[in-house]
Chain A
């Protein structure tokens, strides 16, 4: 067994959250408040850096974290929003200091909490590569040496001498990731940066991550909500729950624990509030097959019925609802009311039920994640944050499908089936069936008849 590269002992981090302002009662009071405001503000702003006053606005983002990580291991840090994942990475990458405890890291650390830090819109791609590279701790000579490789990976050599402000957002991300991908530290700390760019580029990044991982001696810490990505990349897992370490060890165990923590029984998930600004909260998710049995394991060709129990904090008129089935390669299929033309029933303040049945799922035996995105009727304003809310597995044996031999199985595992007929069902019993293949075929027939 190799020795520990990262040693974390009793790590804790305290933050101060803003304390509530007293509400103005009368006009006189509000004038009075106006006058005393500067004094109050001063106290509040100074308190941002002090912890001795007013105990109840103190918040522990991390509590007593202990672990050792050996050289060459890839650690996936998982947990819900606010569990302390980002705080842990920030401390590890020395952006912020811990309140208590100690970390010892052997070797050079590079952190990647954002893609393209320090990019300036007026500078050219070339200049920004140097800018970003030096911020990440590279020396100029190092960047000179790797410059061609960086440009090659980004795939934007044509625009390298164009100011970055003329780049599309995708191009900026490519360039930023290309710089980061060519870092060569002993320890790499990565936050959810892979959740950007188009699917193709995401896959390229995942490929590069896999490559980096397989290189000997590199130790990596990786935070993501993409559980399937974590499972395929990481060897170890660290599960955080409201600042505390719930599990540290094998990645599969960690993931199972993670899902268990927001799961009440087989086929039922309670994601709850995923971020503070949500106005529709996914209270519960139930997965059933065609027999109405709650389950997480399906056979190919089963129906997959997803029932969402949504708590709306307000009335929302005809929201847009999307459900995405994901594999580790990205989105597999979606049910989306905006695309299928189904006008979803308006949400009433309180609990609303939405059901979506994916029919006879032709999904290959693999593990899949589910995520939900709900937007206002303008299809833009997000009402929920789209995060993984559940998972299921298709367990049919490959050989039962006529796929035999290791090569065939491997090939099949990478193929995806993007179109699955589905139907929506709302609280009032209204049903909306949709099959995109029918629509496309119908359109072609109409064209034929017209001609």
Chain B
């Protein structure tokens, strides 16, 4: 018979994978709940997952492509910006959602014990459906513009993993912070808007001045966007733009896990 020992803990601790594995069904149902609850009682339902990036792309194409004439490396601007908008909307959506995941479920946290990690995890997973639908739209764009991606498109999962690590890592940090400081919630809404201009969503990396380049590519989202663009447009993959961000995303994820676990013991008391 298993013995549970309850005593005060201190300092950093790592993830209890065994326990997390036991609660995998909870993660599954929370993810399903996230998907169903989001689109319940709406006419278009998951259609919104397509409309949002599509509409933004159209607006950006008019504003940045036609009026401001932002360079898009010889690719039709709509295709150029959609390939960035698609991962970006996933990133900003999951970041907001996972940051709020603990606060909005505080009634659960204060009533039942379960590994709290499943909350931000499920927030990130339930958004994956939108991301998959976005992929279908991306394929539609490729067909419309008669662009054939190269064999390197097989590397897509690699960039998706980097995207997941980045959003989850930041989500873990912000969700743990938001329990104690509700400011995070307000900051998050405009922070994701500002962050977008730090990544090559509306412009091309060729517009970035050489001296800021190293600073710029520390942003993991630069790598995700550049990677996805290059594999879909069948261009050489700019590893030098991607590499630094990959390392940063891994560090963010690891730190996120540790920080979350460190703060976890306070959740029920301050939520």
The interface of chain A, by Cβ under 8 A from chain B, is 15, 45-46, 48-49, 90-109, 111, 113-114, 117-118, 120, 122-123, 127, 130-131, 134-140, 163, 186
Say if the beta carbon of B67 comes within 8 Å of chain A: no
| Contact A139 B25, CB 8 Å, known A95-B111, A98-B7 | yes
Choice from B7, B23, B112, B180 contacting A95 with Cβ under 8 Å: B112
Residue contact B3 to A106, C-beta cutoff 8 Å: yes
Since A96-B268, A101-B8, A105-B4 are in contact, a sample of 17 more A-B pairs with Cβ atoms closer than 8 Å, ordered by chain A residue number, is A90-B110, A94-B6, A95-B113, A97-B8, A98-B7, A101-B7, A102-B6, A103-B6, A105-B6, A106-B4, A109-B4, A111-B112, A113-B112, A117-B108, A122-B41, A127-B33, A135-B114
Residue contact B181 to A131, C-beta cutoff 8 Å: no
Number of contacting residues on B, CB 8 A? 37
Choice from B2, B3, B29, B180 contacting A45 with Cβ under 8 Å: B180
CB distance from B144 to the nearest CB of A (A): 36
CB distance from B113 to the nearest CB of A (A): 4
CB distance from A38 to the nearest CB of B (A): 9
Interface string of B91-103 (1 = CB under 8 A from A): 0000000000000
What residue of chain A has the Cβ atom nearest to residue B9's Cβ? A97
Choice from A99, A106, A120 contacting B1 with Cβ under 8 Å: A106
Residue contact A93 to B270, C-beta cutoff 8 Å: no
Interfacial chain A residues near B30, Cβ < 8 Å? 131
CB distance from B114 to the nearest CB of A (A): 6
Say if the beta carbon of B18 comes within 8 Å of chain A: no
What residue of chain A has the Cβ atom nearest to residue B270's Cβ? A48
Say if the beta carbon of B151 comes within 8 Å of chain A: no
What residue of chain A has the Cβ atom nearest to residue B182's Cβ? A45
Residue contact A108 to B2, C-beta cutoff 8 Å: yes
Say if the beta carbon of B70 comes within 8 Å of chain A: no
A193 to B209, CA, bound (A): 64
A45 to B270, CA, bound (A): 9
Say if the beta carbon of B235 comes within 8 Å of chain A: no
CB under 8 Å from chain A, chain B span 107-133: 107-114
Say if the beta carbon of B187 comes within 8 Å of chain A: no
Can you name 8 A-B pairs with beta carbons within 8 Å? A48-B266, A90-B268, A93-B113, A104-B6, A105-B5, A113-B111, A114-B111, A123-B36
Residue contact B110 to A98, C-beta cutoff 8 Å: no
CB distance from B12 to the nearest CB of A (A): 15
A57 to B22, CA, bound (A): 39
Residue contact B266 to A49, C-beta cutoff 8 Å: yes
Say if the beta carbon of B265 comes within 8 Å of chain A: yes
Residue contact B269 to A48, C-beta cutoff 8 Å: yes
Residue contact A107 to B1, C-beta cutoff 8 Å: yes
Residue contact B108 to A135, C-beta cutoff 8 Å: yes
CB distance from B66 to the nearest CB of A (A): 41
For the complex of A and B, the 9 pairs showing the least CB-CB separation, nearest first, are A122-B40, A134-B26, A94-B113, A103-B6, A102-B7, A96-B268, A114-B111, A140-B25, A105-B4
| Contact A93 B29, CB 8 Å, known A45-B181, A98-B6, A122-B36 | no
A6 to B159, CA, bound (A): 49
Say if the beta carbon of B143 comes within 8 Å of chain A: no
Interfacial chain A residues near B9, Cβ < 8 Å? 97
Residue contact B33 to A48, C-beta cutoff 8 Å: no
Interface string of B173-190 (1 = CB under 8 A from A): 000000011000000000
Residue contact B5 to A104, C-beta cutoff 8 Å: yes
Residue contact B108 to A118, C-beta cutoff 8 Å: yes
Residue contact A49 to B6, C-beta cutoff 8 Å: no
What residue of chain A has the Cβ atom nearest to residue B37's Cβ? A122
Interfacial chain A residues near B196, Cβ < 8 Å? none
CB distance from A146 to the nearest CB of B (A): 14
CB distance from B108 to the nearest CB of A (A): 5
Say if the beta carbon of B32 comes within 8 Å of chain A: yes
A120 to B25, CA, bound (A): 17
With most chain A CB atoms within 10 A of its CB, the pick from B4, B41, B112, B181 is: B112
Residue contact B112 to A93, C-beta cutoff 8 Å: yes
What residue of chain A has the Cβ atom nearest to residue B3's Cβ? A106
Interfacial chain B residues near A130, Cβ < 8 Å? 25, 29
